[in-house]
């Protein structure tokens, strides 16, 4: 069906409201806009769906939500009647239409005879992962677009382990979506009827308390917080999102007396009025927090993204200013702290393990191995970190104390299988308080880590390729690198290249080997000066990411390597 045919089908469908049809008629003379909305469906991948909110086949709206949910329901029903009885947990964030999309998801699940546990209001992402595990659900759905701009929303799907959907189930849903008519296939029960019949059960404070009880078990050294509680101050911002309630509460239970929240950003608002982007990776979003920290004399700033699965921090430096720590730096600091704290308090398990993704700093491996831990790599995404954790612990090979990726995601404990800003906020605050008791800021602690473990520097470049041609450009770039792998980069010989698609390793002399990881569209080059360069298309946005992981005898040497290879990375876009 052509994009024009799809457009006309939507216009003629009785499923659309008058307002939705008016929106479509308003673009009737804009062929490019019609094509962009109807050239094809939103692709359902292992991250679910994500797109801008408006009427159209390639957009996020209630019709696409219902269609995806119908497909997901049929995949669940194929598991048998017990799966329908176990049901799904559904959560949503602060974004515009998130509550509406979550309710529609619940109504379609109920219409297919699948019981639903729906949160009574917005909640952090990790709490849906927790609810799936806690209540024995077969699956979960979270309506969120994480840190994307306000125009976006998404549909994130979990399986019974509480981790994001495994690839074979995502493929099954995508296949069902191709088979099912977007409008006529949907089975839906009225919301009030579903509640009255017990098909939809609301979750509230009782689930929060169960979740928080698990979070608080991750405290390693409460005495360290109590020692400085009267004087140690921190600033917190939820960036208008779901962390506004549980994170301050967890910190209060930790023993923090001075958690100063940014008042303007404690207001729940899907338009994110105080920031250009509600992303804790972007330093400019912290301007209100920095002003407040300087005014109140705080040394530590913490911010969670709108769905509270990722967390970023800023720390006071020697000159009194505040510096953003990268996800790589934050993770290294926290790993080093957790090892020390668990050793001090007798909580380090036998066969301790740290997990990271292939694009995360190699400094984490250095920290782990120097302290007697084993460190494993996985593909990017917490479903892979969760899968590795379950495999290692299920087989008795190791006990994972910490999992993280460079994009500000951290997972602790065994009650969630996704990144978790609530627990990470607790652990990071405990760490900051402990260092304060040693007369150090986290910036001081980071410099000490570099002195101890060596100097590392990393950079991620985003080669944005928007529009209808973007996917073709991304595919052509990856294909070109596979067909003609670079023998040198920035004048430095490539010692080895790895293709994670087929798991192959090729040495500079042409000899070949194989690695454990395979099945992902990622290329990695090990350059002879010890730098790693990784190239992969984003799974959620129209861009190719290039990661530069460097190290050196000094900070300057490591940073110079990053600058040199960044120029090569930028050239890939041309």
Nearest-5° Cα angle at 517, 78 to 378 = 85
Three-state SS at 386: helix
Going by C-alpha positions, the residue among 504, 523, 526 that lies closest to residue 515 is 504
Query: Locate tokens 């770039």: which residue?
Result: 477
Which of 428-464 are b and which e, b meaning 16 or more Cβ less than 10 Å from the residue's Cβ? bbbbbbbbbbeebbbbbbbeebbeebbbbbbbbbebe
Q: Which conformational region is residue 543 in: left (phi greater than 0), alpha (psi within -120 to 50 degrees), or beta?
A: beta
Catalytic residue among 6, 146, 326, 457: 146
Q: Which residue has the tokens 């990695």?
A: 524
- DSSP one-letter code for 556: H
Measured distance CA(169)–CA(263) in Å, rounded: 42
Largest Cα separation within the chain, whole Å, is 70
The verdict on whether 518 is a catalytic residue reads no
Specify whether the CB–CB gap between 73 and 106 falls below 8 A: no
**Residue whose entry in the numeric block shows the structure tokens 């105080």:** 274
Distance CA 292, CA 357 (A): 34
Tokens of 514: 């194989």
Where are the alpha helices (H) located in 182-281, listed in sequence order? 191-196, 205-216, 222-228, 243-254
From the CA atom positions of the chain, what is the Rg in Å?
24
Give every CB contact of residue 82 below 8 A, 6+ residues apart in sequence. Answer: none
Best CA proximity match to 45, nearest among 215, 207, 198, 164: 164
List for the chain the helix, strand, coil content (%; round to 5). Answer: 40, 20, 35
Dihedral (Cα; 446, 452, 454, 455), 10-degree rounding: 20
- As to burial, measured by CB atoms within 10 angstroms (0-12 exposed, 13-18 middle, 19+ buried), residue 13 is middle
Active site residues: 146
């Amino acid at each position: 069906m052509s994009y024009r045919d799809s457009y006309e089908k939507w216009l003629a469908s009785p499923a659309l409201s008058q307002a939705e049809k008016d929106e479509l008629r308003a673009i009737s003379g804009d062929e490019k806009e019609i094509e962009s909305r109807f050239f094809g469906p939103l692709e359902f991948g292992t991250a679910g769906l994500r797109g801008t909110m408006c009427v159209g086949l390639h957009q996020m709206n209630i019709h696409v939500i219902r269609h995806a949910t119908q497909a997901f329901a049929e995949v669940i029903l194929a598991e048998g009647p017990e799966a329908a009885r176990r049901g799904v947990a559904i959560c949503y964030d602060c974004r515009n239409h998130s509550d509406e999309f979550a309710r529609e998801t619940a109504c379609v699940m109920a219409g297919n005879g699948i019981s639903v546990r729906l949160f009574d209001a917005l909640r952090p992402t990790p709490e849906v992962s927790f609810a799936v595990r806690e209540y024995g659900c077969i699956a979960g759905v979270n309506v969120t677009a994480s840190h994307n701009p306000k125009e976006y929303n998404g549909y994130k799907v979990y399986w019974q382990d509480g981790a994001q959907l495994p690839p074979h189930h995502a493929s099954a849903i995508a296949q069902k979506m191709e088979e099912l008519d977007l409008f006529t296939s949907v089975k839906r029960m009225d919301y009030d009827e579903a509640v009255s019949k017990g098909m939809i059960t609301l979750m509230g404070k009782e689930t929060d308390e169960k979740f928080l009880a698990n979070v608080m078990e991750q405290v390693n050294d409460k005495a360290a917080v109590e020692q400085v509680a009267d004087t140690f101050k921190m600033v917190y911002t939820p960036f208008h999102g779901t962390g506004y309630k549980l994170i301050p509460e967890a910190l209060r239970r930790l023993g923090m007396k001075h958690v100063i929240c940014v008042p303007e950003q404690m207001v729940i608002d899907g338009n994110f009025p105080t920031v250009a982007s509600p992303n804790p990776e972007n330093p400019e979003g912290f301007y209100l927090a920095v002003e407040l920290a300087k005014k109140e004399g705080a040394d530590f700033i913490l911010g969670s993204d709108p769905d509270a699965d990722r967390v970023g921090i800023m720390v006071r430096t020697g000159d009194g200013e505040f510096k953003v720590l990268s996800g790589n730096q934050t993770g290294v600091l926290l790993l080093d702290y957790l090892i020390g704290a668990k050793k001090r308090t007798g909580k380090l398990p036998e066969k301790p393990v740290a997990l990271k993704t292939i694009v995360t700093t190699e400094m984490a491996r250095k920290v782990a191995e120097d302290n007697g831990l084993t460190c494993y790599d996985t593909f990017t995404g917490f479903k892979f970190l969760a899968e590795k954790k379950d495999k290692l612990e299920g087989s008795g090979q190791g006990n994972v104390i910490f999992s993280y990726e460079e994009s500000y995601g951290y997972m602790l404990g065994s009650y969630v299988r996704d990144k978790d800003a609530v627990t990470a906020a607790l652990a990071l605050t405990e760490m900051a308080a402990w260092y304060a008791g040693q007369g150090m800021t986290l910036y001081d602690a980071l410099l000490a880590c570099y002195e101890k473990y060596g100097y590392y520097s990393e950079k991620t470049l985003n080669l944005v390729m928007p529009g209808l041609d973007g996917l073709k450009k991304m595919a052509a770039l990856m294909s070109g690198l596979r067909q003609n792998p670079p023998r040198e980069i920035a004048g430095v010989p490539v010692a080895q290249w790895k293709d994670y698609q087929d798991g192959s390793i090729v040495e500079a002399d042409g000899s070949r080997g194989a690695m454990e990881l395979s099945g992902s569209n990622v290329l990695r080059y090990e350059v002879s000066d010890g730098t790693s360069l990784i190239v992969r298309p984003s799974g959620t946005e129209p861009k190719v990411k290039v990661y530069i992981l460097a190290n050196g005898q000094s900070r300057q040497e490591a940073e110079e390597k990053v600058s040199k290879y960044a120029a090569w990375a930028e050239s890939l876009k041309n």
